[in-house]
Structure 1
C-alpha cells in the first residue's frame, strides 16, 4: 500500500513543482531578517491556502509565524518552515529551500492524508538565525500536539543526522564615560578597552575549554570618533557546547571574561540574552533511517567524508523541538564549492541544482512522514 501512496505523493509534488520553485525563488529574491519576515511568511502561507490548508496567522501572538492544517487523521505530522535570511548575506543558509521543501512535502502528504490516516500541519517558524523563533513558539504551546516533526536543511552535501551544538546568544554592552582623548583622557572611562580586555580573556580561556565548545562573536559598536574616549560599546556573542548542561557551565566562565573588562576599566557591563538557549538535537533515529532510505531511493548519497559534513554541527532551535516531539532535521546537499553563510552559498540556493534538491527534499520528507505514520499509528 505504501508504494502506491508514495507514487501518488511524488506525482502530486511534481504537479506543483513550478509553484514550489516560484515560492523558493521569491523568498530568495526578497530576503527578510529575523522577526521581520512579513512578506515571506505571507507568501509561504498563501501557497498552502491555495491547496486547501486552513491558515492561522499570526500564530500564538507572533506576527511572522503561522500554522497551516489539513486533515483529521489520528497521527499528526508537522512540517516546519523557516524563511528568515541573514543580515547582509540574504539566503546564504538556504531557508528559501527549507520553506519550499516543507510546503511541497506537506502538499504531497495531504494528497494521501485520508488513506494514510494522518493530519498534516505546516508551522511557519520565524527567526531561526539567532532569534529563537521555535523557542518562543514552544513557550506559547506550539508543537505539543504533533506526533512527528520534520524539516530538511540545505548544506553543501547530504548528511542525515543533525548534531547541533546547544547555543546561547548574547548582546553585550559596556557603558563608560566620554572625554576628549587628548585634552582630558583622565576624565574618561573607556568602554572599548573593556571589550579588548574581555576578548583577550576569552582568547586565553579557549586554551582550557573542552573540544566541544565554541565561543565567538563580533563587536558591533566600538566608538564614535578617534578623539573621543568611547562611552558605549556593544557586541553580539555566541557560546556553544555539546549539551545544554555544558553550555550553562561554559556561559559562567565566559561571563567572567566580560566582567574582567568591566572590573579593569570601570565600565558598566550589561549582558542580555537575545533568545532562549538552543538545545542539542535529540533525533528520532528510526525516522532518520527511514529518511535516509527514502532519500537514497531518489538518488541522494550519504558518503561524504566526515570533515566535509560539519554543517550538521550548526546550532538550530529545531533542537528544542526535538526535546518535546519526535523529530528529524537532515541536511540535503545543493553541491558546489561554497558552504553555509558564505555569499556563494546563497547563489547555490537558486538555479537548476537547487531546484532538484527542492524536489528531492519535498518527496523524501513526505515519504518519511508516511512511513513513520504507518509504523506508529
Structure 2
C-alpha cells in the first residue's frame, strides 16, 4: 500500500514539474523582504487555490501569511512555505525553492489524502530572515491541531537533522545631544561615541564568550554629518548560541556592553527586540530518519549523522516549531560551487537546473516522509497523541 502511495505522489510531482519549477523561478525573479512578500505569497496561494485547496489569506493578522488546506483526515500535516528574500542579495537563501517544494508536496499528497486519512495544510510563513513569522503564527494559533510539520531548505550540503543556533535579534539606540563638532563639542553628548564604546566592549568580550556563542552586527545610523556631534545612533546585532539558555546569558552580557556605552558618554539608550527569539532546532528523530530514507531512495547523498554534528545552519524560526510539535527542517543540496547561503553566487544557484531538481526531489521526500508517518500505526498514534496532549 505504501508503495502505491509513493508511486502516485511521484507521478503527481512529475505531472506538475513545469508548474513547480516555474513557481520557484518566478519567486526568485521578484525577491521581496520580510512582511512585504505580497507577490510571492499570492503566487503560492494562488496556485494551490486553483488546484482545489481552501485558502485563507492574512492569517494571524499578517498580510503575507496564509493557509491552504485540503482534506479532512485527523492527522494534520503542516508544510511550511517560506518566500522572503534578503536585502541586496535577493534569494541567496533559496526560499523560492522552499516554497515550491512545499507546494509540490501538498499537490502530491492531495491525491492520496483521503486514503491516508490526512489533512494537508500549506502554511505560508513570511519573515524568516528577520521578524520571526513562524513564531508569530505559532503564538497566534495557526499551528494548533497540526500533528507534524516539515519544510526543506536548500544548502551547499544535504543534512537531515543538522543543528541550528538560537538567535536574538536586537537593536540598540543611543540618544545624546547635538552640538557643533569644532566650535562647541563640549556642549554635545556624543551618541556615536556611545555606540563605539559598545562595539569595542562586545569585541573584547568575544574572547570570553561561551562555546557556541557569537555576536555579529551592523551600524544602521551613525550620525548626520561630521561637523555635528551625533545626537542619535543605532545598530542591530545578531546574538547566537547553542540553545535558548545560553542565549539568555549572552543577552545579559551584551546588554552590559550596551550599558557601558551609555555610562561612558552620558547618553541614554534603549534596546528593541527586532524579532522574537529563535529557538535551536530540535528535529523529531523518527521523522528525520524517515526523510533520510526517502532522500536516499531518490538518489541523494545526505551527510551521516556524525558529519551533521559538525555542521550548523545558522538560525531559523522553524526551531520554535520543532519545540512545539514533531517537525523537521532538512537541507537539500544544490550545485553552488564554493558559494554558501547569503552570497550572490548562491542566489544565482537557486535559479539553476540543480535548484529545479531540488524542488522536485524535496517535494517527493516531504511527501514520502508523510506517507511513512501516516501508514505506521505506532507513529500515527504518537503524532495524534501529541496533538491531544497539547490541546
TM-score (norm 1): 0.97
| Partner in structure 2 of residue 327 of structure 1 | 327
Alignment of 1:106-125 (within 5 A): 106-125=106-125
Which stretches in structure 1 are left out of the alignment for 5+ residues?
none
Contact 1:198–1:260 (CA under 8 A) maintained in structure 2 = yes
Alignment of 1:293-308 (within 5 A): 293-303=293-303
* Cα shift readout 1:4-54 (whole Å, capped 9, x = no counterpart): 110100110111111111111111111110011111111110011111100
CA distance in 1, matches of 2:243, 2:309: 20
| Partner in structure 1 of residue 14 of structure 2 | 14
| Partner in structure 2 of residue 73 of structure 1 | 73
Contact 2:174–2:269 (CA under 8 A) maintained in structure 1 = yes
Alignment of 1:97-176 (within 5 A): 97-176=97-176
CA distance in 2, matches of 1:24, 1:172: 36
Contact 1:144–1:325 (CA under 8 A) maintained in structure 2 = no
Q: Structure 1 residue 310: deviation in Å?
A: 6.6
CA distance in 2, matches of 1:176, 1:308: 47
* Cα shift readout 1:277-331 (whole Å, capped 9, x = no counterpart): 1111121101100101100111110248988987643110001111111000001
| Partner in structure 2 of residue 349 of structure 1 | 350
Q: Structure 1 residue 200: deviation in Å?
A: 0.7
| Partner in structure 2 of residue 373 of structure 1 | 374
CA distance in 2, matches of 1:67, 1:270: 36
Contact 2:162–2:308 (CA under 8 A) maintained in structure 1 = no
CA distance in 1, matches of 2:142, 2:298: 32
Contact 2:158–2:331 (CA under 8 A) maintained in structure 1 = yes
Alignment of 1:1-377 (within 5 A): 1-303=1-303, 312-336=312-336, 337-375=338-376, 376-377=379-380
CA distance in 2, matches of 1:162, 1:229: 47
Contact 2:170–2:236 (CA under 8 A) maintained in structure 1 = yes
Q: Structure 1 residue 372: deviation in Å?
A: 1.2
Contact 1:157–1:304 (CA under 8 A) maintained in structure 2 = no
Count the aligned residue pairs: 377
* 3-state secondary structure, aligned to 2:122: strand
* 3-state secondary structure, aligned to 2:61: coil
* 3-state secondary structure, aligned to 2:120: strand
CA distance in 2, matches of 1:61, 1:162: 32
CA distance in 1, matches of 2:308, 2:2: 34
CA distance in 2, matches of 1:311, 1:222: 35
* 3-state secondary structure, aligned to 2:60: coil
CA distance in 1, matches of 2:197, 2:351: 43
* 3-state secondary structure, aligned to 1:130: coil
* 3-state secondary structure, aligned to 1:60: helix
Which stretches in structure 2 are left out of the alignment for 5+ residues?
381-391
CA distance in 2, matches of 1:311, 1:34: 26
Q: Structure 1 residue 161: deviation in Å?
A: 1.0
TM-score (norm 2): 0.94
- Structure 2 CA distance for partners of 1:151 and 1:114, relative to 1, 3 Å: same
CA distance in 1, matches of 2:304, 2:267: 49
| Partner in structure 1 of residue 389 of structure 2 | none
Q: Structure 1 residue 147: deviation in Å?
A: 0.7
Contact 2:283–2:327 (CA under 8 A) maintained in structure 1 = yes
* Cα shift readout 1:323-364 (whole Å, capped 9, x = no counterpart): 111000001011222100001100000021111111110110
Contact 2:163–2:308 (CA under 8 A) maintained in structure 1 = no
- Structure 2 CA distance for partners of 1:183 and 1:310, relative to 1, 3 Å: farther
* 3-state secondary structure, aligned to 1:322: helix
Q: Structure 1 residue 144: deviation in Å?
A: 2.1
CA distance in 1, matches of 2:28, 2:311: 21
* 3-state secondary structure, aligned to 2:324: coil
